[in-house]
Amino acid sequence: MRNLMVAGNWKMNGDSTMTSELVDEIAAGYVGSDSCELLICPPFPLLGLAANKIQGTSIFLGAQNLSEYNSGAYTGEVSALMLTDAGCQYVIIGHSERRAIMRETNEMIRKKFYAAIDNNLIPILCVGETLEQKEQQLTMEIIEQQLKSVIGDNAASLTNAVIAYEPVWAIGTGLTATPEEAQSIHHFIRGIISSISQEIADNIQILYGGSVNGGNAKGLFSMPDIDGGLIGGASLTASDFLSIVKATNK
């Protein structure tokens, strides 16, 4: 039985005051359980503060990105080793905003994925299609390409990994795939993995990301192949975030 996960991606938001207050409110309202894992992913400068605030709780810490390099003359980059030193257990890789705005390629994302694994970070690999690709009925082709460009035929690389399906057309737009639409894509993703390893396919968490809120989370999380959510805007308000966490009670 797979645990559910609710992961909050703060994106480029927050300061020290906001971090202290938000983490305190989330920790106060979160009743840890064996079936739901809670993860927050603040911006780099706030990771240390967040790590200190969640000490003694069952909340996990993640980063939003990392360098493909371990160290060296790469001004402005942050390595996997630095993230683990800051207290991170997870890192988001290949988010659609990194792909679109920062022009990250599948090859760059592959290198970041393995940099995380090699340094004992759990990567959350994001895949998903744009509205144009969806309208051209390329969704499954794009997702398979994004996934296989990272794992190839090596499903073992997913033993300690998470996948997040984030339809780009639903991120920050208020649009959300119906539970049935999202389930069909999650089932497709799990099928790609099962063609390589059924055991890993059965155990890997596949999250949904795309305007998840307290109103639609219950329906999404009730689907058999949806194992929680990668939450954007709603993770910045404790009450909104906790309402999504409560929806994991199947």
> Is 95 part of the annotated catalytic residue set?
yes
| Domain assignments of the chain as residue spans, ordered by start | 39-246
Given a cut of 90, whether residue 90 has pLDDT beyond it is yes
Amino acid at 39: L
Cα-based angle 7, 226, 104 (whole degrees, multiple of 5): 55
Cα–Cα distance between 130 and 144 in angstroms, integer? 14
Q: How far apart are CA 195 and CA 206, in angstroms?
A: 16
**What is the pLDDT, as a whole number, of residue 34?**
63
What are the CA-CA distances from residue 36 to residues 83, 182, 227, 232 (Å)?
Answer: 23, 20, 9, 18
Confidence label for 10 from pLDDT (cuts 50, 70 and 90): very high
Mean of the per-residue pLDDT values of the chain: 94
Please give the pLDDT value at position 152.
87
What would the mean pLDDT of 223-227 be, rounded to a whole number? 97
From the list 68, 104, 129, 166, the catalytic residue is 166
Looking at residue 175, its pLDDT comes to 76
pLDDT digits (tens, 9 = 90+) for 112-171: 999 999 999 999 999 999 989 999 999 999 999 999 999 987 878 899 999 999 999 888
Give the CATH fold of the 39-246 domain: TIM Barrel (3.20.20)
pLDDT > 90? residue 1? no
Q: Which of 95, 97, 104, 186 is catalytic?
A: 95
Helix residue ranges, H only, the chain? 16-29, 47-53, 80-85, 96-100, 106-118, 131-135, 139-151, 179-194, 198-203, 217-221, 238-246
Query: Which residue from 109, 107, 79 is spatially nearest to 94, judged by alpha carbons?
Result: 109
pLDDT at 211 over 70: yes
Whether pLDDT at 172 is above 80: no
Confidence band, pLDDT 50/70/90 cuts, at residue 174: confident
- Checking if the pLDDT of 94 tops 90, the result is yes
